[in-house]
């Protein structure tokens, strides 16, 4: 595994490129989905040309494209649209669904983290005197622990940002003593920093407290110690969308339900992520079973904060000890996963 100083990064990158060369970047299913999408988009474009009245005033990305291209898009432009739509689908589904599965497993797999998230949501709902559905974007983003859990799930497990971010050098460059010729493909291997012990002590541990202080979160992001949603010009345009949806989903579940985590690993541990070529199905080794109403939740929403939750939340308000070199909350948060 890569946990260390990134010394394996070179071989991982080479393995990934080998695998892409042999298998192609995408699985046959993704390629088929791309082809299907292309067919549908082309048919819809033709239909817009033949029956513009059907779409008049439609507030959609497709209509915007149709108007901008004046109904005269050539094959290359249509291919661009198809690729953009496919990227959007992959970004939204590939990243978001995988993140949700890991996130829910980590949260439900650790009673102290679950208690902390519950306490945080309960505190916010009590403060706003409202239900989850009434929460606004800013409210959801103010759930520090919940959002830290999202960041941590992406840092440890996401496929696209961590394992496959490519760029093409538009001009010849020099970086760190290496000459990069124009046109070279550059692999930005985010896992090399995301799994580096220097920046993430006990890097394999799911430790959301790393980011619960917004100042620390922002500094680490500015220093590019994590690039979970990318950085700069190509940064994820869907981050706030993703964070608000995922926070609302997690908040709704933790307030209402208990579940049990079942994994395929010994001791029912959450398996460490894999290095190298991306495989979309690693999250499939995790299952949440025995969905049932939350214990002690009579009303289904507002309950007294359980004592373990209070402890977890007050622990979160204390600055993590920087000295130990390992997750300072590992005791409070229970078993590491
Ligand atoms: C947990 C969920 C998500 C994660 C971890 C994530 C991560 C990322 C990352 C790291 C990038 C930058 C890739 C690069 O530098 O090449 C990116 C780009 C992008 N993301 Fe997300 N994303 C998520 C959800 C979403 C959602 C829900 C949407 C849309 C609704 C979305 C739309 C996009 C788009 C359109 C880009 C390309 C931006 C560009 O090329 O300028 N993402 N995402």
Pick the atom of ligand 1 nearest to 190's CA.
10
Is 95 touching ligand 1 by the criterion CB < 6 Å?
yes
Q: Say how far apart CA 326 and CA 3 lie, in whole Å.
A: 13
For residue 309, the model assigns a pLDDT of 45
- DSSP string covering 44-64, please? HHHHHHH-GGGGTT--SHHHH
Residue keyed to tokens 């791309």: 34
Q: For residue 132, which of 242, 251, 245, 241 has the smallest C-alpha distance?
A: 251
Consecutive 10-residue runs of the chain (337 residues): their mean pLDDT?
Answer: 51 66 69 86 94 90 92 93 83 81 94 95 96 95 95 85 76 92 84 85 90 88 87 87 95 96 88 60 82 75 42 42 39 37
**Which amino acid residue places its CA nearest to atom 43 of ligand 1?**
236
Domains recognised in the chain with CATH numbers:
9-13+97-316 (1.10.630.10)
The encoded tokens of residue 251 equal: 């908040």
Is 44 touching ligand 1 by the criterion CB < 6 Å?
no
- DSSP 3-state of 166: strand
Q: Say how far apart CA 11 and CA 187 lie, in whole Å.
A: 12
Choice from 236, 241, 247 to test ligand 1 binding pocket (greatest atom count within 8 A of CB): 236
Q: Say how far apart CA 145 and CA 158 lie, in whole Å.
A: 19
168 has which bridge partners? 185
Is 236 touching ligand 1 by the criterion CB < 6 Å?
yes
For residue 313, the model assigns a pLDDT of 47
For residue 63, count CB atoms less than 10 angstroms from its CB and return exposed for 0-12, middle for 13-18, buried for 19 or more.
middle
Cα–ligand 1 centroid distance for 233 (angstroms)? 12
Is 49 touching ligand 1 by the criterion CB < 6 Å?
no
- DSSP string covering 77-99, please? HHHHHHHHHHHHHIIIIIIHHHH
Cα–ligand 1 centroid distance for 226 (angstroms)? 14
- DSSP string covering 232-280, please? GGG--TTHHHHHHHHHHHHHHHHHHEEEEEEESSGGGPPPPPPPSS--T
Is 334 touching ligand 1 by the criterion CB < 6 Å?
no
Q: For residue 244, which of 327, 162, 333, 137 has the smallest C-alpha distance?
A: 137
Cα–ligand 1 centroid distance for 224 (angstroms)? 16
251 Cβ contact list (under 8 Å, min separation 6): 117, 121, 132, 135, 140, 143, 146
For residue 326, the model assigns a pLDDT of 41
**Which amino acid residue places its CA nearest to atom 4 of ligand 1?**
95
What is the C-alpha R_g of the chain? 22
For residue 291, the model assigns a pLDDT of 95
Cα–ligand 1 centroid distance for 236 (angstroms)? 4
Reported ipTM: 0.98
Pick the atom of ligand 1 nearest to 232's CA.
15
Pick the atom of ligand 1 nearest to 243's CA.
1
Cα–ligand 1 centroid distance for 144 (angstroms)? 21
- DSSP 3-state of 329: coil
């Amino acid at each position: 595994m890569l946990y260390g100083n990134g010394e394996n990064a070179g071989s991982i990158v080479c393995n990934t490129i080998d695998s892409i060369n042999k298998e192609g970047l995408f699985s046959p299913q993704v390629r088929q989905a791309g082809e299907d999408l292309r067919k549908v988009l082309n048919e819809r474009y033709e239909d817009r040309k033949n029956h513009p009245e059907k779409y008049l005033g439609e507030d959609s990305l497709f209509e915007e494209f149709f108007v901008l291209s004046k109904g005269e898009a050539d094959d290359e432009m249509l291919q661009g649209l198809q690729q953009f739509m496919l990227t959007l689908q992959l970004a939204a589904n590939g990243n978001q669904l995988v993140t949700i599965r890991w996130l829910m497993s980590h949260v439900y797999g650790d009673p102290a983290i679950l208690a902390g998230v519950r306490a945080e949501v309960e505190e916010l709902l009590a403060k706003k005197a409202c239900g989850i559905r009434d929460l606004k974007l800013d409210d959801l983003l103010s759930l520090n622990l919940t959002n830290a859990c999202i960041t941590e799930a992406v840092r440890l497990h996401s496929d696209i940002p961590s394992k496959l971010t490519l760029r093409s050098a538009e001009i010849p460059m020099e970086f760190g003593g290496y000459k990069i010729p124009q046109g070279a493909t550059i692999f930005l291997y985010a896992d090399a920093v995301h799994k580096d012990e220097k920046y993430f002590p006990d890097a394999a541990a799911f430790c959301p407290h790393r980011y619960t202080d917004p100042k620390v979160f922002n500094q680490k992001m500015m220093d590019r110690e994590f690039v979970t949603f990318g950085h700069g010009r190509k940064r994820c345009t869907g981050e706030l969308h993703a964070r608000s949806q995922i926070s609302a989903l997690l908040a709704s579940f933790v307030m209402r339900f208990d579940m049990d985590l079942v994994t395929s690993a010994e001791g029912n541990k959450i398996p460490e992520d894999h290095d190298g070529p991306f495989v979309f199905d690693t999250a499939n080794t995790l299952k949440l079973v025995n969905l049932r109403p939350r214990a002690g939740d009579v009303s289904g929403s507002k309950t007294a904060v359980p004592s373990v939750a209070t402890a977890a939340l007050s622990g979160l308000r204390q600055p993590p000890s920087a000295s130990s070199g390992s997750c300072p909350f590992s005791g409070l948060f229970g078993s590491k996963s």
